Amino acid sequence: MSQIFKLPETQLDLNHEGTSAHSGREDFSGAGMDVRIKRRSRLSWPVVGGAVALLAIITWTWMFLKPNGLAVDRSSLRIATVERGAFNEDVAIRATVDPLHSVVLDSIETGRVEDVYATDGQIVKRGDPLFRLSNPQRQIDLLVRQSDEAQRLSYTLNLRVSLETGRLEHQRRMAELQFERDLAEKNYERIIQLAEGGAIPRVQVQDTKAKLEQDNLLLEQEKNAGQADLDARQDSLKRMEKSFLDQKPGLKIVRDALDALTVRAPIDGRLTDFHLEVGASMKADDHIGRIDDPSQFRLSAQIDEFYRGRVMTGRAVTVDVDGHSYPARVSRTYSQITDGKFNVEMIFDRAQPGNLSPGLGVNAKILLGEPTEALLLPNGTFFNDTSGEWVYLIAPDGRTAQRHEVNFGRRSSAQLEVLSGLAAGDRVIVSAYADYGGNTRLQLK
């Protein structure tokens, strides 16, 4: 009996002191088991928390990808209805407003800016002075030309006087010789009559005849020589007059060049890009600015080369400005293609907006053909996301939208031609699809 009660005491001592040389098996089975129970108690809460989080993630994922589809807020969508109507094939562009009539101002003279009479943006009239240059060389050239002109004019006047003097002298000599010749002729006739009557000898008749022949010869010589002298003087005068006239254009050019130092407005309009200061130096061909017609404008735009064969002169254009549409037409196309685009110009057919100014950007549409009957869907940003190969078709109850294959034909800025896959009355989401991750089904909230 005493041995039976000692075994628990021994066991109790071993538990408290941990010193027994003959009870190693009992120590391992008791103390080791107490330690394991404490460790399991410390790790239970993190394990439970992780399990709950994993279960929540699985549940949320299943709810998000459940068969009803991706949940989408209906108010954020743009929905359109397929309808039959007239397809207007057009291309939308961004056009820039430019003056219809404009004159570029470039300097044609070299000089220093002495005066500036106008400012940028000012309305000017034709002939109004804009600025004035100074160029001493032009003034020297003018003085030289004027001096040369004065000399040539003096020579011309002297030749005219000489010609007139020679003509008078020739006429005087001709008159004298004619008078002498007439006297000799009358004397000869009288001598013949006297000789026939025997009043004078025959030798006197011969002398009188010789005198008459000499007077005739002198008269003929004076006539020929005097005329030759007058012709020579006349020819010299003509050459001098021609030389004088030939110098006139050169003098005019020099005078025009001097006048051009004061630059004037070539047309009525608004002075643009004009920034000159007194004292600035200029040379020929320097850009000064331009003058724009403030009442008429044109539009210019760049268009993708894809439409090069369809955008032609005369095509109808609709221009939108401040919520109003204005008719216009293509007035000119340029064949050169740069960076995949070509340039076109457009003018307004009738009235134009009253608030246009150079450099303003406006929206416009160029019609590429006559309207045709077709099954239509309004164009939207979804086309860029799907390349027009499929759409989200809304179910009849309006609660879901399903991915649906379609085939589109022609495309304009506002319309798509439906060839197959949709029918009139179908409702389609036409807003962007990028946020839907390619889900085949959408749930509309």
Whether 279 and 427 map to the same domain: the answer is: no
Whether 156 and 250 map to the same domain: the answer is: yes
Write out the residue range of the structural domain in which residue 315 sits: 92-100+296-367
Contacts made by residues 6-13, CB under 8 angstroms, sequence distance 24+:
none
Separation of alpha carbons 235 and 254, rounded Å? 29
Residue position matching structure tokens 């010609």: 163
Q: Give rounded-to-5 percent helix, strand, coil for the chain.
A: 45, 30, 25
CATH number, domain at 277? 2.40.50.100
Task: Single out the residue of 229, 292, 300, 286 nearest to residue 266, CA to CA.
Answer: 292
For 71, the 3-state DSSP assignment is strand
Whether 331 and 282 map to the same domain: the answer is: no
Q: How far is CA 29 from CA 7, 17, 20, 41, in A?
A: 16, 16, 14, 19
Whether 277 and 197 map to the same domain: the answer is: no
Separation of alpha carbons 169 and 20, rounded Å? 178
Q: To the nearest whole number, what is the mean pLDDT of the chain?
A: 81
The Cα angle at residue 109 between residues 105 and 112, in degrees rounded to 5: 100
Whether residue 304 lies inside any domain: the answer is: yes
Whether 142 and 231 map to the same domain: the answer is: yes
Which pLDDT does position 246 carry in this prediction?
Answer: 72
Separation of alpha carbons 166 and 164, rounded Å? 5
pTM beyond 0.75: no
Whether 384 and 410 map to the same domain: the answer is: yes
Helix ranges (DSSP H) in 65-201: 136-196
Are 358 and 292 in contact by the 8 Å Cβ rule? The answer is yes
Whether residue 146 lies inside any domain: the answer is: yes
Separation of alpha carbons 431 and 78, rounded Å? 5
Number of domain units in the chain: 5
Whether 362 and 377 map to the same domain: the answer is: no
Separation of alpha carbons 11 and 184, rounded Å? 200
Whether residue 8 lies inside any domain: the answer is: no
Whether residue 18 lies inside any domain: the answer is: no
Whether 281 and 361 map to the same domain: the answer is: no
Whether 96 and 163 map to the same domain: the answer is: no
Are 144 and 263 in contact by the 8 Å Cβ rule? The answer is no
Separation of alpha carbons 18 and 10, rounded Å? 11
Separation of alpha carbons 252 and 246, rounded Å? 11
Whether 317 and 276 map to the same domain: the answer is: no
Over pLDDT 70: what percentage of the chain?
86
Quick: pLDDT tens for 13-37: 434 444 433 444 444 444 444 545 4
User: What dihedral angle (degrees, nearest 10) is formed by the CA atoms of 347, 349, 350, 352?
Assistant: -30
Which pLDDT does position 251 carry in this prediction?
Answer: 67
Whether residue 358 lies inside any domain: the answer is: yes
CATH number, domain at 76? 2.40.420.20
Whether residue 1 lies inside any domain: the answer is: no
**Which domain-ending residue is among 306, 338, 367?**
367
Which pLDDT does position 37 carry in this prediction?
Answer: 47
Which pLDDT does position 2 carry in this prediction?
Answer: 38
Whether 142 and 207 map to the same domain: the answer is: yes
Whether 395 and 412 map to the same domain: the answer is: yes
Which pLDDT does position 61 carry in this prediction?
Answer: 59
Separation of alpha carbons 292 and 272, rounded Å? 7
**Which domain-ending residue is among 259, 280, 312?**
259
Whether residue 305 lies inside any domain: the answer is: yes
Average pLDDT per run of 10 along the chain, which is 445 residues long?
40 40 42 48 61 72 58 90 90 91 84 88 90 79 73 80 84 87 85 77 80 87 84 82 74 73 86 87 85 88 89 91 91 92 92 85 89 90 90 92 92 88 93 88 89
Separation of alpha carbons 443 and 68, rounded Å? 6
Whether residue 7 lies inside any domain: the answer is: no
